[in-house]
Amino acid sequence: MAPHILPASLTELLEVPGIALTIADGDQTGCPLVFVNKGFEQLTGHTREEVLGRSSHLLQTGDADPEANHRLQRAIDERTALTLTLKSRRKNGSRFDSELVLTPLYNQAGHCYLISVQRDIDKQHRPHARWRAQNRLLDQLSAQVPGVLFQYRQSPSGQGSFSYISTRLADYCGIDTGTLQQDADTLFSRIASEDRRHLSDALESSAASLRLWQSAFRYHHPTRGLRWLECAAMPTRLANGGTLWHGYLTDVTARKLAMKRMALAETVFDSTHDGILVTDADKRIIDVNPAFTQLTGYSAEEALGHTPHLLSSSKHDAQFYTNLFTTVHQQGYWTGDIWSVCKDGRQLIENVTISAIHDVHGTITHYIAVFRDITQKHLKQARLERRAIYDPLTSLFNRDHFGGALENLLSGLSFTGIGIAVLFIDLDDFKPINDTYGHAAGDEALVIIAQRLKQQTRSTDLVARLGGDEFVIALAGMRSAEKAEKVAFKILDDLISPINLRNGNSITLSASVGVAYTEDSQYAANALIAAADSAMYEAKSQGKNRVSMSQRHPSDGDTLYTRLQNALEQEELALFYQPILSLADERIVSFEALVRWHHPEQGLLAPHHFIDIVNHSSLERAYSSWLVHQAAHTAQRFQACHMAVTVSINVTRDQVESGQLAEDMEQARKRHALVSPFLNVEVVETAQFHDIDLAYNQLQYARRLGAQIALDDFGSGVSSLTYASQLPIDIVKIDQAVIRHLVERPQQRRFVSSIIDMAHAMQRIVLAEGVETPEQLDILRHMGCDMAQGFLIGHPMPSDELEARYLTGTPQLSYPLALQAQ
């Protein structure tokens, strides 16, 4: 065994002439010697090279006194203190009598060492100098030990006193050594009352068993306040029946505080709502906290051993991460926002701080990343910026700014007397561009279109992108509607010229343009835009790629807008509900909510008479709130009757991207105390979100609030399941135009069957609308379609009829409502 290396300062202190001193490792088998001084070499004739590593039983060099050897053997084996006289033998065989004092000593970590001091007692008269040297050695040893050495004696009656205490006691306990030697209670009285009884019990147990006495306790220091002390001592039975402990006392306050800080750090690690992950120097995850699992969906077992690339969203390139870690290495940390992807595919925007942990040599040993979910905060900020002035893609004015600027132009008509024209431009069949060349190419085409519109207008005109492929222009200083129409044709001619994309493809687009003109300063901006919008739809209905002038009188649009505003306030709008059937169990699982207007003069109006003005005006916000809360109230009636029935609503692109849908759902869920799911949110297939990431996150948030997302009118345009895969779609709703000829056209059946198979492969539910005959229903059921809607199942009905037919009494129903699971 390799000898322990003692500090040079201590080795010098132990080299006392005439005193043989050895140190043995009491925790190793055989208690091997780890140090002997020159006095031992002189007394025994053995060199230290001969004895280091050998058993401390080497001290038993005599054979004339078996009883003494037996006592020494027992003291070594049991690590107890001992003083006895031995008849010993030197290396050369000569005999000598020695007095041996054996003392066990425990360090701060609890490791046991056996200290042996031998002296030759052949001479009857021992010089007093040798005794003084021995005492001086003991004092020097006590001063060097980082603690307090002591002997504590307890009489059979329980009275205690300290027969020896090292001078360091005054520093540790703030008590004079002489005071304690007279009265041990001076120290015990300063021990915290909660710990004093425990310490007394441990002392009593040690005295009875002669086993190690070890305790940690709180001590009130006169000047330093509350401290933590730790004591370890070995007992020896005295001849009078009392007990003598040889022990060691040390201050462990720093260790206790460190442990407390570690426990606190562990509690913070486990309890914080911020996600935390720890990696090694190779960026392999070695630990994560519960919040990490809650935020990302990955358990600790799934994350450990992987790199943080597990969460990569592919929105940041390799250079981004290279720059990130360059900053970490230079500054010690990096803070910023990162897009990640959770286990369920949900995108997460995180505010992250990544820090490097170094060892004492400055080498990086670990990385720690602390992150929090700022997705909603980021999206709200994005909405604010998007609503401010400019469209983020084209740098044209956005809808909100355009409306305000148009109001200012209209108010100026009272001074100029010259007219204003609004051109509403919608690109024809733009969706195939995205499907064929990708969204990046589609965005590039929109940017080029925006540039052409700016080039064809003056600095006094207003040009805006309303979203998707819709643009609007306000032409100031138009002296007539005919002049405005000529400008519209000029702009259309420029738009239809070929567009050369960066990918080498050349595309040609067409557009439908609606024009509304007024010289009236009282004309409302929203009404003027709505009039141009209606004219644009007229151009599309006439064959597209043309200009159509609005025939609406300036006051017409204003009247309709104002009338709709009053209709919302006076509760003239109402929802009619059409049932949706589950083909698996022949039960009604949902109702689509269809808006109707109870017009005082014209009777019940369908949406196509008014919904465009609602969706392209400031009424959209109020309408969205009304729609969601009306549907939620009906859903609550189903849940109150223990029915597993949802309500479907149709929403616009702007409701989703602006965050209005999620905001309304959150309020409705709280107001009506709803459980999930309670809504189906239907987004039309032809709705082109201009920010697919923003739309994805908003729809995903709606799902968490209790919505299923349906892609409506699938098959009515250029159908794309790839597009459906870019959004969190739960239901694919096949348009009624596809279902209409299902029975008589085999090719149509093959087309519908393919849609159902592909949707099922993507784990989407399939709903067929417009089912009007039993034959259509049978074919759909045979194809594996999941749900059906149409006149065969039920006509749209007002809420009072829905209540009477399905929720009151016990009527005979062809298709009963689905029940909640018990």
Range in 162-171, 268-277, 658-667, 701-710 the model is least confident about: 162-171
DSSP string, 291-323: HHHHHH---HHHHTTS-GGGGB-S-S-HHHHHH
Task: Give the residue among 62, 117, 115 at the shortest CA–CA distance from 93.
Answer: 62
In tens, the pLDDT along 281-310 reads 999 999 998 889 988 999 989 999 999 988
Give the residue carrying structure tokens 């733009």: 430
Q: How confident is the model at residue 471 (pLDDT cuts 50, 70, 90)?
A: very high
CA distance 387 to 636: 34
pLDDT reported for residue 142: 54
CA distance 251 to 242: 28
CA distance 515 to 423: 5
pLDDT reported for residue 124: 43
Greater pLDDT, 272 or 358: 358
Q: Which two tokens stand for residue 19?
A: 């005193």
CA distance 612 to 373: 37
Q: How confident is the model at residue 387 (pLDDT cuts 50, 70, 90)?
A: low
**CB neighbours (10 Å) of residue 807?**
16
DSSP string, 254-282: HHHHHHHHHHHHHHHHHH-SSEEEEEETT
pLDDT reported for residue 557: 46
pLDDT reported for residue 492: 93
pLDDT reported for residue 408: 86
Greater pLDDT, 295 or 81: 295
In tens, the pLDDT along 166-196 reads 777 767 787 776 666 666 777 888 888 888 8
pLDDT higher than threshold 60 for residue 130: no
In tens, the pLDDT along 314-371 reads 788 888 889 999 999 999 899 988 989 888 888 888 889 999 988 888 899 999 999 9
pLDDT higher than threshold 70 for residue 156: yes
Q: How confident is the model at residue 554 (pLDDT cuts 50, 70, 90)?
A: very low
pLDDT reported for residue 87: 78
- HSE (side-chain half, CA atoms, 13 Å) at 318: 0
Residues across the chain: 822
pLDDT reported for residue 786: 95
Which value, in Å, is the radius of gyration of the alpha carbons in the chain?
45
pLDDT reported for residue 593: 95
Task: Give the residue among 666, 661, 662, 627 at the shortest CA–CA distance from 647.
Answer: 627
Paired with 577 in beta bridges are 593, 797
Greater pLDDT, 721 or 499: 499
**Mean pLDDT over residues 48-70, rounded?**
75
pLDDT reported for residue 314: 79
Instruction: Strands of 82-182 (E only): list them.
Output: 82-89, 95-106, 112-120, 148-154, 160-165
Q: Are strands 797-798 and 82-89 parallel, antiparallel or unpaired?
A: unpaired
Q: What is the DSSP letter of 438?
A: -
CA distance 734 to 376: 32
Q: How confident is the model at residue 627 (pLDDT cuts 50, 70, 90)?
A: very high
pLDDT reported for residue 686: 53
pLDDT reported for residue 125: 40
pLDDT reported for residue 639: 92
In tens, the pLDDT along 96-120 reads 878 888 888 877 667 888 888 888 7
Quote the percentage of the chain above a pLDDT of 90: 26
CA distance 66 to 50: 25
**Mean pLDDT over residues 310-315, rounded?**
83
Dihedral, CA atoms, 29, 33, 35, 39, nearest 10 degrees? 160
Put residue 469 in one of left, alpha, beta given phi > 0 → left and psi -120 to 50 → alpha.
alpha
Backbone angles phi, psi at 587, to 5 degrees: -125, 150
pLDDT higher than threshold 50 for residue 417: yes
**CB 539, CB 546: distance < 8 Å:** yes
Q: Are strands 510-518 and 419-428 parallel, antiparallel or unpaired?
A: antiparallel
Lateral strand order in the sheet of 82-89? 33-36, 20-25, 112-120, 95-106, 82-89
Listed in sequence order, the residues at least 6 apart from 566 whose beta carbon sits closer than 8 Å to its beta carbon are 572
Range in 308-322, 382-396, 429-443, 514-528 the model is least confident about: 382-396
Cα→Cα distances 17→40, 45, 120, 216, Å:
9, 14, 12, 38
pLDDT higher than threshold 80 for residue 61: no
Cα→Cα distances 336→352, 353, 358, 370, Å:
6, 7, 22, 11
pLDDT reported for residue 721: 58
pLDDT reported for residue 285: 92
pLDDT higher than threshold 60 for residue 788: yes
pLDDT higher than threshold 80 for residue 729: yes
H or E element: which one contains 385? helix 375-388
Task: Give the residue among 341, 153, 325, 112 at the shortest CA–CA distance from 238.
Answer: 153
pLDDT reported for residue 784: 93
Backbone angles phi, psi at 236, to 5 degrees: -135, 135
In tens, the pLDDT along 234-251 reads 888 887 888 988 888 888
In tens, the pLDDT along 745-779 reads 888 899 899 889 988 988 899 999 999 999 999 99
Residues 82, 88, 92: CA angle, nearest 5 degrees: 145
CA distance 72 to 49: 24
DSSP string, 512-572: EEEEEEE--TTS-HHHHHHHHHHHHHHHHHTTSSSEEE--S-HHHHHHHHHHHHHHHHTT-
pLDDT higher than threshold 60 for residue 584: yes
3-class state of residue 738 by DSSP? helix
CA distance 566 to 535: 24
| Mean pLDDT estimate for the chain | 83
**CB 90, CB 120: distance < 8 Å:** no
**CB 624, CB 660: distance < 8 Å:** yes
Buried/exposed code over 502-513 (b: 16+ C-beta within 10 A; e: otherwise): eeeeebebebbb
**Mean pLDDT over residues 476-503, rounded?**
91
- In the structure, how many helices (H) and strands (E) does the chain have? 31, 32
H or E element: which one contains 24? strand 20-25
pLDDT reported for residue 811: 62
pLDDT reported for residue 535: 86
